[in-house]
């Protein structure tokens, strides 16, 4: 059909079928034909209803299960991967916040080990694009490399390219050069589209070959059966971020812009996976209409960001399911960002340890299980690893660390929160009935359905109608109660009966700020758990015997009722303290509190119950043995073969070959281990070394010991406070005779951005002259006898500025911040000393730092707030500046460092000469130390070098540690050319700066530069500057990774 015929057909159908509900789709026998029909109708702009009232968005090929041939589909209950229901449990990770890309695999393996089968990633357009039309998909922006690593590890990916991402990042991901582009960003403004379209199109084309798909081929060696092989990794792509329609913002063109982004992703080749969007709150943004996405979801941060009060929790919400059913009942409940930690602010007096405490393992236990009570089927925890805001990457309000109080800390060490996430993930993956369960009811004695006899217990019941499995999520009615509550539960079971009070004798216990998921009629293998007072970790069938792993507090009584092939009763082999009784239909196993063993195996017919205390469950790992080509590599349910290992700090991977179980993992101390698995296991190795084993009959396991062999005290870290330091003054531009003839002349008199200058003839914003990152220097020339100057320097919150007249300091100012507000314009008012003035060529020099661009959360061009001099005025005698010049990063938008990117460097003297880069010749610098400092206001730059020799097999995260001071000074920390920290002595709170391996050379020379900017009279000195070990882990991760290949002085500055 030619273009005219197509248009005529579209016009005819649109005229006569304004709302076309495709009722025949469900009757079509072939999913491919359904997909074709849905796609044709959607591109015609007609409303297509697939099932359950779900409307296929315009332009989408459709991904509703049963109507689509795509490998990724969904219905109202869950995702499907190649017709298999899949629970998507994910952690947020920003590759660009860990620029040592060889460590990506380490982090992702920890996600996988914790039972996550997905990872969600933001991409930072501004970091990728140094100038309009140029996008560099290399190094820490290498999306293809990330997909390949995720594929190797076995994680599905939700990619989130923006264009806007927020993420507490500079510009919220919008590039700094966009600040000079006319038109309101995040709308359908023409100039804005010309800016973002090439970036999104390139992302789509790079990602399209990696969409999840299934190759079906004949297996000709053995069975001649169809073999399904999963390849590539993105499972979904998000358009925009925490956005909304025009009616929300009262701004025209927002829906059209959203639709344009989606269409660009599709035309770029991303048509095999759903498009998603994360609504900032459950408000129904882009569920239907122009800009609608395939799979709606929303965000939630229930504890907020109140790290100052980590003991104060909000109450749990009970309307999550109701909101979901109101907004998008035809799709599974998706929480694309759920609180995994909290960010912190400059000047907060908190630090990320408090943010961790706010959202610790207790928080994870209660709030994530409340998501299960809400019916979540896709959950992404933001953040699970935070990383660093290196190189001016953070927005103005937050400091260099992006630790986030996450389950994996900035230095990559794992926390108890990761283990709590693990036990929940293992349970959910082992419980396919949860994915098809429906909410039956919820409440307490005071409201709703009272499943418990206690007025202090709130219960939610989900039940799968096919299997009869019930999931009882129990918690305290209030988070303010911190003491235990005793209770019983009314349970329905197809075998036991209706409203059966459990346990049959005694009571259960729930600690304050604790939640449990108790199950009824729970199938594991060919056996069934009718009820248990202990929680399920996971289950597996080994050699035809069904094993189920249960855990509870050792101080709690224990009772389970199980159906298995064969009955059991108490006998001489019954573990001490346990009682076993059987009826014709089931077996009851019970035990009193304070049991002798932390882990006990109880055989019941053809089943084995492993009962452990929670500490043992948290220390247990359940990796799969499935090969990377098997769906089990990505959906870690007990359908895929696996083993259980209790004891080590981390288990990364396992394999079983010819009777040898090979374990790869990490230790922070010698560990006793227990292994449950098939009888084919004859030998075990740990990181290639044999492990002596014995049979533990009480635990039903193979037991052994894996030894921690590192001598941590022998790993020496240099005392850099005693290193040989050299220094140079950083303010040669302050003097009137300094030659700035090669600097950029700042002579613009207007700007496209809404933020206009306060005063002065010229626009003195760094971005207007191509300088988008780091600290800037301005020089204003004037003749005559002015009496003073007024300067308004916009640095961003908690920034600082200093001014000189002809080499003499005349004033400084430092801002502050409180969460999202504070002082971002530094006011300097100075009266000139007549003795300093010259008749001609006087120069006011202004130094300021830039605290990262603002974000654009409210679609108001806030990110265009300038970094530079917002207003200026010479006082007295009608004198004005005749010329302004500015120095920024070398090369501006065409800077020579294509690895560290456009934000890493600024324009101060030491940066322009490349003193921060490795290989710089500092032989002519003076000997001095930052611990001695300076006695007057000004800026000094210090350099030193040292060697490291971290042994192979040791993962030793290192950090540079400083100390706060009431004397105000500021420092920038550089490691081998990478800006890895900003320190404000009187603001804080950050005093420790982890520097990842690969930025630090763990087996060779390192060069460190620190600045000391004394703001006020009396000068300043550092109280402390140390390089310290954060941990010493004996690890199977790749070691001796060297350093990231990035330009040294010769490459970036040499001629």
Strand partners, 702: 675, 695
pLDDT of residue 87: 96
**Whether residue 893 has pLDDT greater than 60:** yes
Residue at which a domain ends, from 348, 382, 410? 410
**Whether residue 220 has pLDDT greater than 80:** no
Eight-class DSSP state of 316: P
Q: How far apart are CA 297 and CA 480, in angstroms?
A: 30
Residue pair 799/824 in contact (Cβ under 8 Å)? The answer is: yes
Question: pLDDT tens-digit profile of 424-466?
Answer: 999 999 999 999 999 999 999 999 999 999 999 999 999 999 9
What is the rounded average pLDDT of the residues 471-481? 97
Question: pLDDT tens-digit profile of 175-201?
Answer: 999 999 999 999 999 999 999 999 999
**What are the backbone angles phi and psi of residue 510, rounded to the nearest 5°?**
-130, 120
pLDDT of residue 13: 43
- One-character DSSP codes across 349-409: S--HHHHHHHTSHHHIIIIIHHHHHHTEEEEEEE-SB--B--TT-B-TTS-SB--TT-SB-
Q: Is 31 exposed, middle or buried (0-12, 13-18, 19+ CB in 10 A)?
A: middle
Residue 905 lies in a domain: no
**Whether residue 41 has pLDDT greater than 70:** no
What is the rounded average pLDDT of the residues 699-725? 96
**What are the backbone angles phi and psi of residue 865, rounded to the nearest 5°?**
-55, 130
- Residues 834-867: b if buried by 16+ CB within 10 A, e if exposed: eeeeeeeebbbbbbbbbbbbbbbbebebbbbbbb
Same domain, 839 and 932: no
Q: If we measure between CA atoms, which residue out of 478, 623, 454, 471 comes closest to residue 538?
A: 623
pLDDT of residue 784: 85
- Residue reference for tokens 């009757």: 27
Q: Where are the beta strands (DSSP E) in 605-643?
A: 607-613, 620-621
pLDDT of residue 233: 62
Same domain, 263 and 397: yes
Same domain, 611 and 568: yes
CATH of the domain at 230: 3.20.20.80
Of the candidates 55, 337, 396, 664, the residue annotated as catalytic is 337
C-alpha distance across the termini of the chain, in Å:
61
Number of domains the chain is built from? 4
Same domain, 638 and 721: no
Q: Which of 234-238, 389-393, 890-894, 944-948 is the least confident region?
A: 234-238
- One-character DSSP codes across 15-66: HH-SS----SGGG-S-HHHHHHHHHHHHHTT--EE-STTPEEPTT----BTT
Question: pLDDT tens-digit profile of 629-673?
Answer: 666 677 778 888 899 999 999 999 999 999 999 999 999 999 999
Strand partners, 74: 64, 79
Residue at which a domain ends, from 379, 410, 441? 410
pLDDT of residue 214: 57
Same domain, 1035 and 980: yes
Whether 733 is a known active-site residue: answer no
Work out the mean pLDDT of the chain and round it to a whole number.
92
Residue 388 lies in a domain: yes
Question: pLDDT tens-digit profile of 975-984?
Answer: 999 999 999 9
Q: How far apart are CA 125 and CA 846, in angstroms?
A: 30
Whether 242 is a known active-site residue: answer yes
**What's the domain range around 355?**
87-410
**Whether residue 949 has pLDDT greater than 60:** yes
pLDDT of residue 33: 46
- CA 952, distance to chain mean position in Å, is 29
**Conformational region of residue 405, where left means phi above 0, alpha means psi within -120 to 50, and beta covers everything else:** left
Q: How far apart are CA 901 and CA 355, in angstroms?
A: 30
Residue 814 lies in a domain: yes
Same domain, 722 and 749: no
Instruction: Give the chain's radius of gyration (CA, Å).
Output: 31
**Whether residue 42 has pLDDT greater than 60:** no
Same domain, 958 and 854: no
pLDDT of residue 32: 46
- For the chain, percent of residues with pLDDT exceeding 90: 86
**What are the backbone angles phi and psi of residue 866, rounded to the nearest 5°?**
-75, 160
The pair of structure tokens assigned to 136 is 């560099």
Q: pTM for this structure?
A: 0.95
- Residues 434-471: b if buried by 16+ CB within 10 A, e if exposed: bbbbebeebbbeeeeebbbebebbbbbbbbbeebbbbb
pLDDT of residue 25: 41
Same domain, 841 and 917: no
HSE of 696, CA atoms in CB hemisphere, 13 A: 22
Q: How far apart are CA 233 and CA 256, in angstroms?
A: 29
- One-character DSSP codes across 794-820: E--TT-EEEEEETTEEEEEEE-EEETT
pLDDT of residue 226: 43
The pair of structure tokens assigned to 294 is 């395939």
Same domain, 788 and 857: yes
Of the candidates 55, 168, 242, 559, the residue annotated as catalytic is 242
Q: How far is CA 620 from CA 54, 515, 677, in A?
A: 41, 20, 13
Strand partners, 973: 981, 1010
The 3 state secondary structure assigned to 146-176 is: HHHHHHHHCCEEEEECCCCCCCCEHHHHCCH
The pair of structure tokens assigned to 465 is 């109608």
Residue 701 lies in a domain: no
Residue 166 lies in a domain: yes
**What are the backbone angles phi and psi of residue 697, rounded to the nearest 5°?**
-70, -30
**Whether residue 950 has pLDDT greater than 50:** yes
Residue at which a domain ends, from 375, 410, 445? 410
Same domain, 112 and 194: yes
Q: If we measure between CA atoms, which residue out of 273, 263, 232, 320 comes closest to residue 72?
A: 273
Return all residues near 551 (Cβ < 8 A) that are at least 6 apart.
Answer: 423, 534, 535, 537, 611, 612, 613, 614, 616, 617
pLDDT of residue 567: 72
Same domain, 602 and 721: no
Residue 24 lies in a domain: no
Q: How far apart are CA 23 and CA 289, in angstroms?
A: 20
- The SS3 of residue 249 is helix
Q: How far apart are CA 299 and CA 382, in angstroms?
A: 9
**Whether residue 680 has pLDDT greater than 90:** yes
CATH of the domain at 961: 2.60.120.260
Same domain, 882 and 751: yes
Q: How far apart are CA 699 and CA 602, in angstroms?
A: 8
Residue 536 lies in a domain: yes
Residue 26 lies in a domain: no
Return all residues near 403 (Cβ < 8 A) that are at least 6 apart.
Answer: 341, 352, 355, 356, 386, 409, 410
Per-residue confidence band for 597, with pLDDT thresholds at 50, 70 and 90:
confident
- The SS3 of residue 416 is helix
Question: pLDDT tens-digit profile of 818-870?
Answer: 777 889 999 999 999 999 999 999 999 999 999 999 999 999 999 999 999 99
């Amino acid at each position: 059909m030619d273009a005219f015929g197509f248009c005529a057909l579209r016009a005819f159908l649109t005229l006569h079928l304004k709302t076309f509900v495709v009722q025949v789709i469900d009757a079509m026998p072939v999913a491919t034909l359904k997909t074709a029909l849905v796609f044709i109708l959607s591109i015609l702009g007609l409303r297509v209803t697939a099932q359950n009232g779900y409307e296929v968005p315009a332009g989408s090929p459709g991904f509703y299960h049963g109507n689509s041939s795509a490998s990724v589909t969904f219905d109202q209950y869950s995702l499907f991967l190649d017709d298999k229901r899949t629970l998507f449990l994910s952690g947020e990770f920003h590759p660009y916040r860990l620029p040592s890309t060889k460590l990506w695999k380490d982090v992702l393996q920890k996600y996988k080990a914790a039972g996550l089968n997905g990872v969600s990633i933001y991409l930072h357009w501004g970091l990728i694009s140094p100038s309009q039309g140029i996008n560099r998909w290399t190094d820490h922006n290498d999306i293809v490399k990330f997909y390949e690593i995720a594929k190797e590890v076995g994680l599905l990916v939700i990619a989130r390219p923006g264009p806007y991402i927020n993420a507490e990042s500079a510009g919220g991901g919008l590039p700094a050069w966009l600040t000079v582009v006319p038109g309101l960003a995040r709308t359908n403004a023409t100039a804005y589209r010309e800016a973002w379209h090439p970036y999104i199109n390139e992302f789509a084309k790079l990602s399209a070959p990696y969409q999840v798909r299934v190759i079906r081929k004949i297996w000709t060696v053995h069975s001649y059966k169809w073999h399904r092989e999963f390849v590539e990794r993105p499972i979904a792509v998000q358009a925009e971020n925490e956005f909304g329609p025009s009616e929300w913002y009262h701004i025209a063109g927002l829906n059209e812009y959203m639709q344009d982004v989606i269409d660009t992703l599709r035309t770029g080749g991303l048509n095999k996976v759903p498009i998603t969007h994360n609504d900032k709150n459950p408000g129904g943004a882009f569920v239907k209409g122009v800009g609608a996405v395939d799979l709606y979801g929303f965000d939630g941060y229930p504890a907020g960001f109140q790290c100052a009060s980590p003991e104060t929790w909000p109450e749990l919400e009970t309307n999550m399911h109701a909101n979901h059913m109101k907004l998008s009942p035809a799709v599974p409940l998706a929480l694309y960002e759920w609180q995994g930690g909290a960010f912190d602010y400059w000047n907060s007096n908190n630090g990320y340890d408090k943010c961790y405490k706010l959202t610790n393992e207790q928080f994870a236990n209660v709030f994530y299980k409340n998501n299960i009570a809400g019916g979540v089927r896709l959950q992404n925890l933001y953040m699970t690893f935070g990383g660093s805001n290196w190189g001016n990457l953070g927005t103005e309000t937050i400091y260099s660390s992006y630790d986030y109080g996450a389950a994996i800390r900035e230095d990559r060490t794992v926390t108890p929160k990761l283990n709590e996430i693990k036990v929940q993930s293992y349970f959910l993956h082992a419980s396919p009935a949860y994915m098809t369960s429906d909410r039956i009811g919820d409440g307490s004695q005071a409201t709703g359905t009272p499943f418990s006899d206690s007025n202090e217990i709130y219960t939610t019941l989900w039940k799968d109608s096919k299997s009869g499995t019930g999931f009882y999520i129990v918690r305290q009615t209030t988070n303010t109660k911190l003491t235990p509550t005793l209770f019983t539960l009314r349970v329905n079971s197809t075998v036991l009966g209706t409203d059966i009070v459990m346990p049959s004798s005694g009571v259960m216990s729930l600690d304050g700020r604790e939640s449990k998921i108790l199950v009824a009629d729970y199938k594991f293998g060919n056996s069934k758990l009718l009820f248990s007072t202990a929680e399920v970790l996971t289950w597996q069938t080994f050699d035809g015997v069904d094993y189920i792993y249960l855990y509870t507090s050792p101080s709690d009584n224990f009772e389970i009722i199980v159906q298995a092939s064969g009955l059991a009763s108490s006998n001489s082999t019954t573990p001490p303290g346990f009682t076993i009784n059987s009826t014709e239909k089931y077996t009851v196993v019970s035990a009193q509190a304070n049991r002798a063993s932390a882990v006990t195996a109880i055989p019941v017919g053809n089943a084995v119950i492993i009962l452990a205390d929670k500490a043992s469950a948290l220390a247990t790992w359940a990796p799969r043995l499935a090969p990377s080509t098997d769906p089990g590599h990505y959906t870690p349910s007990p359908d895929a073969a696996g083993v259980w290992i209790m004891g080590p700090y981390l288990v990364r991977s396992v394999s079983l070959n010819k009777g040898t179980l090979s374990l790869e993992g990490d230790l922070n101390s010698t560990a006793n281990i227990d292994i449950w698995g098939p009888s084919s296991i004859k030998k075990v190795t740990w990181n290639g070394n044999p492990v002596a084993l014995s049979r533990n009959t009480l635990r039903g396991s193979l037991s052994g010991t894996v030894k921690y062999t590192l001598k941590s005290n022998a790993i020496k870290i240099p005392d850099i406070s005693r290193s040989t330091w050299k220094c140079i003054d950083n303010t040669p531009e302050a003097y009137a005779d300094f030659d700035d003839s090669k600097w950029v002349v700042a002579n613009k008199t207007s700007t496209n951005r809404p933020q206009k200058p306060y005063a002065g003839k010229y626009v003195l914003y760094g971005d207007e002259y191509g300088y988008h990152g780091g600290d800037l220097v301005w020089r204003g020339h004037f003749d005559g006898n002015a009496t003073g100057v007024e300067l308004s320097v916009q640095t961003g919150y908690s920034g600082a500025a200093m001014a000189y007249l002809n080499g003499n300091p005349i004033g400084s100012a430092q801002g502050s911040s409180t969460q999202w507000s504070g002082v971002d314009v530094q006011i300097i008012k100075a009266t000139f000393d007549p003795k300093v003035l010259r008749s001609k060529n006087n120069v006011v020099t202004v130094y300021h730092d830039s605290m990262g661009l603002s974000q654009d959360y409210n679609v108001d061009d806030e990110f265009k707030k300038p970094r530079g001099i917002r207003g200026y005025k010479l006082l007295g005698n009608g004198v004005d500046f005749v010329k302004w010049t500015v120095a920024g990063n070398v090369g501006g938008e065409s800077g020579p460092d294509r690895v560290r990117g456009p934000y890493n460097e600024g324009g101060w003297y030491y940066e322009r000469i490349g003193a921060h880069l490795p290989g710089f010749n500092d032989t002519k610098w003076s000997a001095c130390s930052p611990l001695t400092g300076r006695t007057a206001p000004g800026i000094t730059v210090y350099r030193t070098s040292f060697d490291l020799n971290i042994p192979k097999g040791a993962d030793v995260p290192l950090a540079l540690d400083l100390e706060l001071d009431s004397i105000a000074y500021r420092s920038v920390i550089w490691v081998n050319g990478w800006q890895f920290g900003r320190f404000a002595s009187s603001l804080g709170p950050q005093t420790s700066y982890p520097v990842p391996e690969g930025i630090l050379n763990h087996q060779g020379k390192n060069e460190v530069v620190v600045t000391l900017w004394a703001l006020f009279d009396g000068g300043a000195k550092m109280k402390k500057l140390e390089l310290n070990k954060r941990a010493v882990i004996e690890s199977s991760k790749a070691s001796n990774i060297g350093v990231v290949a990035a330009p040294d002085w010769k490459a970036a500055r040499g001629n």
